[in-house]
Amino acid sequence: MPKIAPRVPMGEQPALQRIKNFNSVPYGYTEDEAVEEATRCIQCKKPKCEPACPVNIGIKEMNLLIAQRKFKEAYLLVKEDNTFPACSGRVCPQENQCEGDCILVKFDEPIAIGKLEAFIADWGSKHKIEVEQAIADNEDKHVAIVGSGPAGLACASECRKYGYAVTIYETLHKAGGVLQYGIPEFRLPKDIVDEEIQKLEDMGVKIELNHTVGQNIYYYELVSQNDAVFLAMGAGAPKFMGIAGENPLDSVYSSNEFLIRANLMKAYKFPEWDTPIVVGEKVAVIGAGNVAMDSARTALRLGAKEVHIIYRRTKEHAPAREEELHHALEEGIVFHELVNPIRFHGDENGFVDYMELVKMELIEKEDGRLSPEPIEGSNYYMAVDTVIEALGTVPNRLFLDRAPEIKRNKKGVIIVDENHMTSVEGTFAGGDAASGAATVIKALGEGKNAAKSIHAYISSSD
C-alpha cells in the first residue's frame, strides 16, 4: 500500500471574522487544490463510495477527471446524476455516505468528495458550461409537482428530461424550499440556489410561486389537469416542547420561524429589508441537529453575545453533521450536554428571563437503546433572553387535511409503495413528506427515483 498523502485542507474564513458576517464559511478548493485532492483517490476497482451516494454519482470517474484537469468532463458527468451538485456538495452528510465508505477511511482521512463535488459544480457555473439535455417530445403529458424543495426540484428536472410539461407549485414567494428558507447563507449561498433553479427554468420547468395547493389551488384540480402528481411538500411544520412558559412568552422561537426570518426574509439586512428579528444577548438553542447548529450560528451572527446549545444526550449523539458541530464550537458556541429544559420563566414584560433545566443521564433500555432520563433533584437555572426550539419538524397538514384520500401514517407522513406511489393512483410522493425529516440528498434521490416511476406510470397508461 503506497503512502497516502494527507487530505488537502480547505481554506475558510477565520471563526472570529465569520461570526460577524453571513458570507460563506469555506472558500472552496482552487483548481490546484482540487487536483491534488482528487489525485489522492486510489481508483478502487469496486468503489464503495458510489453505492453509498443516494443519487449514485460516478464519484470514481469524477475524481479521475478532476485529477486529469478535465473539469468540463467532470462537471458534465456529475450533472448527469445530480441536478444540484453545488447544493449537495455543501450540505450532504458525506461522512455517513460516500466519504464514510471510502476505503481510505481505514488508513487516513477519506477523499473530500463533497468538497470536490462543490468545486466542480462551481467551476461549471463559473465557466458557464451548458449541459446539453436531450429532452424527449412528450409535451402533451403534464406532471404537477407540489413543493419546490430538493425532492420537487430533482423530480421536476428528471420529468422534464423525459419531455413532460412540468409545473411546480410553491407556497412561498421564492422557490427552493429548505435550500431557500432553512439553510443559512453562510452554509449555502442563495445565489447558488437561485442559479440552480434558473437552470431548471431554462430547461422549461414552470414554477408557480405563491400557490398553496389545498388553499388557492386544489388537489383535485391538479389530478384532473395532469397525468401525474408528485407531492414533495416536505416536513415543514415545527415541533414545540410544549413545556410550561413557552407560551405566552415572547422571544421563544421555533427554529423554523427564526431561520425563515433570517434566510428567506433576510432579516439580517433589517431595516433595509422589512422583516425584523430579535436576538437577545444570551441565546439558548434546544436540540443538536443541523437546524440547531444553523440557528445557533445565525443567532451569533445577529449579535448574540453568548449562544448555548442545550441537548439531552451527549455530544457524540448529536445528529448534526460533524462539520457543522465543529464549526459551531469553533465559533464559540457553548454545548451543554445531558440537560433538558423543563420550564421557561418570563419577566414582567412577557419575555423569557431564565429557564429551569434538569440534568439527564443515559439509561440503557431493554432493546439496547440509550434513553435520556432526568436525574431527580438536579434542577438548576440558567439566565437566557431568547430561546430557539430546534426539535425537528413534521409534515405540514395544510395540504394533507384537505386531501384525506391520500393515506398517511400516525406521524402524518405520506405512505408510499416501492415506486413512490401513494394510495391514490397517479399521485406520487417523496422527500420529507414521504419519509419524515431527513436530508437534502435523500430528497434529491427520492425525487429522481419517483420521476422514473412517474415515467413508467405515464408510459404504461397510454
Partner 1 sequence: MSFSILLFFIALKSYKLNIFKGEYVSFKITQMMDLDSIDYLVDVEAPEIAERFHPGQFVMLMTRKEGERIPMSVMKVEDGKLSMFIRKLGKTSKELRDGITSFENVIGPLGHGIEEKEYGTVVVVSDAVCGHAENYAICEALNKIEGNHIISIQTFPSEKEVYPEDYLTKSVSHRHFITTEDGSNGTKGNYVPILQNLVDNGVKIDFVFGGGKLPTMKAVSTLLAKNNIDNLFTTRQMMVDGSGMCGACRVYIDGEMRLACVDGPMFDSRKINWTRAMKRYSMFKKEEKKADDHYEAHKGHKGGCGSCQK
Residues that bind partner 1 (CB under 8 A): 171-173, 181, 201, 206, 210, 212, 215-216, 236-238, 240, 242, 247-248, 250-251, 253-254, 256-257, 260-261, 264-266, 269-278, 349-351, 396-398, 401
Using an 8 Å Cβ cutoff, are 382 and 283 in contact? no
Cα–Cα dist 311/293, whole Å: 12
| 3 state DSSP class of 17 | helix
- Is-contact 397 235, C-beta < 8 A? no
Pick 101 or 257: Cβ nearer partner 1: 257
Task: Order across the sheet with 386-389: list the strands.
Answer: 252-254, 386-389, 282-286, 306-310, 334-336
Q: What is the DSSP code (8-state) at residue 11? A: P
CA 103/CA 383 separation, integer angstroms:
47
Cα(121)–Cα(101) distance, rounded to whole angstroms?
22
What is the rounded distance in angstroms from the CA atom of residue 178 to the CA atom of residue 233? 10
Residue 60 and residue 47 in contact, taking contact as beta carbons nearer than 8 Å: yes
Query: Would you call 369 exposed, middle or buried from its count of C-beta atoms within 10 A (0-12, 13-18, 19+)?
Result: exposed
Q: How far is the C-alpha of 374 from the C-alpha of 83, rounded, in Å?
A: 46
The two beta strands, 370-374 and 352-364, are: antiparallel
**406 vs 399: CA distance, rounded Å:** 10
Q: Measured between alpha carbons, how far apart are the two ends of the chain, in Å?
A: 56
Nearest alpha carbon to residue 34 among 77, 73, 67? 67
Q: In the chain, what are the helix, strand and coil shares in percent, each to the nearest 5?
A: 35, 20, 45
User: What is the identity of the amino acid at 145?
Assistant: I
Task: Output DSSP code: residue 99.
Answer: T
C-alpha–C-alpha distance, residues 196 and 214, integer Å? 27
DSSP state of 309: E
